[in-house]
Structure 1
């Protein structure tokens, strides 16, 4: 399984994060881009945070599917996102959603959401995109996230290892 293969690779993530390539001003860092290139299969087209922010202000805004865990979603999510946990990937049935409607999937960095995008394609969804860099990229570029109380700075970092790529916001596990 790819996640198991990444176990050894993940030790290098801290080295990449600490090598001076990280861009603390937000936006994407060269190290983060390199990481994503090694992890993405490129089976689902990506959409940048800036482009998605524009699309969300259009009348035909895409359906947002947050495929993280309920705990991650509770900490924060993109406004209007629907929770469809990654663990439901094998049994997921999405009824009542027009298969021609644009859909954007996201997770922490975009790996789990890419797998979900693949599944949506097999279910007949025609316009599926993966948020490049996930919610981390979204918040790193300064876009807002929400919880049940409204806008928040809290973001679930998934783990201490992955949280190294979260440059803005407050890391909160619950």
Structure 2
């Protein structure tokens, strides 16, 4: 599966330039086996979900959603999630930059028996594009968002792009 995602990410550069919209991009790369939650839904005070960041450590260190738990992508360890979230009926929202890597991690959680798992539609980019706050390692609000690459950065419209 990692090989498939790696190949998909390599071709992302080409495909992202050909895409007209985020929905088309996500439709192309995602299987939709994990339901989406919108940034507006996640931001609602009544939403009490565990938030998992499925990006790499450098991306997380630059900025992340408030109270997000870093789980990573390349070195994701299911056992660490099980230790932190033993109740498999807990609401869990997984996010990455745009919503592709997070679907892979969310699928692993679903396969492990978690029943209430969502993929954040558009990831941290959509979160920031909708003027929601992101935080650095000191839990201070920041405008910085790690965009992974110049091409991926095209999807971030607000905030300061960090590579």
Count of residue pairs the alignment pairs up: 156
- 1:33 paired to 2:61: no
Deviation per residue, 1:44-81 (Å, 9 max, x gap): 00000001101xx22x6100000111100000000000
Distance 1:151 1:31, change over 3 A: same
2:131 to 142, 149, 157: 142
Q: Which residues in structure 2 correspond to 1:62-101 (within 5 Å)? A: 62-89=49-76, 91-93=77-79, 94-97=82-85, 98-101=87-90
Equivalent residues in 2 for 1:24-173, closer than 5 Å: 31-54=21-44, 57-58=45-46, 61-89=48-76, 91-93=77-79, 94-97=82-85, 98-149=87-138, 150-173=140-163
1:87 aligned counterpart, secondary structure: coil
**1:10 aligns to what?**
13
TM-score relative to the length of structure 2: 0.88
Q: In the alignment, is the contact (CA less than 8 A) between 2:8 and 2:29 conserved in 1?
A: no
Please state whether the residue corresponding to 2:158 is helix, strand or coil: coil
Unaligned 5+ segments in structure 1 are: 17-29
Alpha carbons of 1:123 and 1:142: their partners in 2 closer, same or farther (altered >3 Å)?
Answer: same
Distance change (3 Å), C-alpha of 1:47 and 1:12: same
- Higher mean alpha-carbon deviation, 3-12 vs 113-122, is at 3-12
TM-score of the superposed pair, with normalisation by structure 1: 0.83
SS at match of 1:38: helix
TM-aligned CA distance change 1:111 to 1:12, over 3 Å: closer
Detail structure 1 runs of 4+ shifted over 4 Å in the superposition.
Answer: none
Where structure 2 has 5 or more consecutive residues not aligned to the other structure, the ranges are none
Deviation at 1:8, TM superposition (A): 4.1
CA distance in 2: counterparts of 1:78 and 1:6, whole angstroms: 23
1:92 Cα deviation (Å)? 2.4
